[in-house]
């Protein structure tokens, strides 16, 4: 059986999540029960090469440069759909 849903963080950032679903129905009149459990959604991030931005203001003689890390988000569903953003 599938374990409980879990969210994984790394350095304060979301790095992954596994979200499951459980369903249980009972029909006491017909003495029937049905239960199912499945992995509903799996999210994961992975670091990519960083980005850099540079702006130069000739009039004020200022330069601004920023660099950072880019993270890609992958979403997989049980229907075979993969979304990347």
* CA atoms of 76 and 84, how far apart (whole Å): 9
* CA atoms of 66 and 45, how far apart (whole Å): 22
Domains of the chain, earliest start first: 2-78 (2.20.160.10)
**pTM across the whole model:** 0.42
Place of tokens 């304060």: 12
**Residue-wise pLDDT tens digits, 9-61:** 777 777 777 777 888 899 999 999 998 877 777 777 776 777 889 999 999 99
Higher pLDDT, 35 or 84: 35
């Amino acid at each position: 059986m599938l374990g409980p849903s879990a969210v994984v963080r790394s350095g304060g950032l979301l790095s992954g999540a596994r979200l499951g679903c459980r369903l249980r129905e009972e029909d006491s009149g017909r003495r029937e029960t049905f239960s199912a459990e499945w992995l509903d959604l799996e999210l994961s991030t992975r670091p990519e090469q960083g980005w850099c931005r540079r702006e130069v203001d000739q009039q004020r003689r200022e330069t601004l440069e920023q660099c950072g890390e880019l993270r890609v988000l992958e979403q997989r569903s049980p229907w075979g759909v993969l979304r990347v953003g």
